[in-house]
Amino acid sequence: MDRVNIKCFCFNPFRENCYLLWGGSDDCVIVDPGCYEPSEVSALTGFISSKGLVPRAIWLTHGHFDHIFGVAELSRKYSIPVYLSPLDGVTIGSNNDLTQGFGLRRPDMSFETRELVEGQILRFAQDDNSPSFEVIPTPGHTPGCVCFYSEQAKILLSGDTLFAGSIGRTDVEGGDYDKEILSIMDKLMLLPGDVDVYPGHGPATSIAVERTTNPFLQPFNEPFEGDTTEDNNEICI
């Protein structure tokens, strides 16, 4: 299996994390390109060129404006498909109002998308030796939020579902707190603890760290029934 190389770019006023993934070949994939300024587009495309990489697709964890500012330009430049959950239509539709409220220009939403569905397997390279990423739907931050998980590489691209020490906000149109907690606890917290988590904002973390220290998840980390540990306050993982 090819090793996964990850380069993080921090874009736009919301300090959104865009990730570039590549392995042993020159194929790569762009995740959540939120490039707002021309200099940010140049930083991403310049790095791609300097490494001799060839983008094959754009993967979107969700459709909020801060994650898609650069999608249309990049998809045209490289003639590559854009993958997004069809459930995030309401999210795409709310972007004009949201950007106006923040005093930002509207994102170019003229790009077409291919759908992401639960259990779908994606690869960033054309050869079968590249690590596969499974699409995990995690509704809550938006209706169509997804995470990309590679069991082989022990990597989770969590978008705005899970952050280091926090979770995604649910107070904008389409958000649902109960669904978000269920998504995190029933899907993400069941992953192995040594999985590295790369979120849509802020620093990288791991499943183990968030499982045991994330304050938004602590009320749900109760000991298993019948736990026999001496310290009853110990969190069972």
The torsion defined by the Cα of 33, 21, 143 and 196, in degrees rounded to 10, comes to -130
pLDDT in tens, 160-189: 999 999 999 999 989 999 999 999 999 999
Please answer whether residues 113 and 82 qualify as being in contact, where contact means their C-beta atoms are separated by less than 8 angstroms: yes
Please answer whether residues 71 and 111 qualify as being in contact, where contact means their C-beta atoms are separated by less than 8 angstroms: yes
Which of 90-94, 136-140, 148-152 shows the lowest per-residue confidence on average (mean pLDDT)? 90-94
Among candidate residues 133, 93, 132, 88, the one with its CA nearest the CA of residue 114:
88
- Collapsing DSSP states into helix, strand and coil, what is residue 229? coil
- Collapsing DSSP states into helix, strand and coil, what is residue 128? coil
What share of the chain has pLDDT > 70, as a percent? 91
Q: Average of pLDDT values for 132-161?
A: 97
pLDDT at 231: 38
pLDDT at 218: 85
Residue type present at position 114: R
- Collapsing DSSP states into helix, strand and coil, what is residue 186? helix
**pLDDT exceeds 60 at position 236:** no
Give me the chain's average pLDDT, please. 91
Q: CA–CA separation, 70 vs 52, rounded Å?
A: 20
For residue 115, what are the CA distances in angstroms to 46, 120, 178, 190?
29, 10, 25, 25
Would you state the structure tokens that stand for residue 210, as one six-digit string?
A: 């968030």
pLDDT at 130: 79
pLDDT at 220: 59
pLDDT in tens, 37-76: 999 999 999 999 999 999 999 999 999 999 999 999 999 9
Residue bearing the bigger pLDDT, 2 or 204: 204
Domains and their CATH numbers in the chain? 5-220 (3.60.15.10)
Please answer whether residues 149 and 128 qualify as being in contact, where contact means their C-beta atoms are separated by less than 8 angstroms: no
Tell how many helices (H) and how many strands (E) occur in the chain. Answer: 6, 14
Which of 89-93, 166-170, 187-191, 194-198 shows the lowest per-residue confidence on average (mean pLDDT)? 89-93
pLDDT at 1: 61
- Collapsing DSSP states into helix, strand and coil, what is residue 82? strand
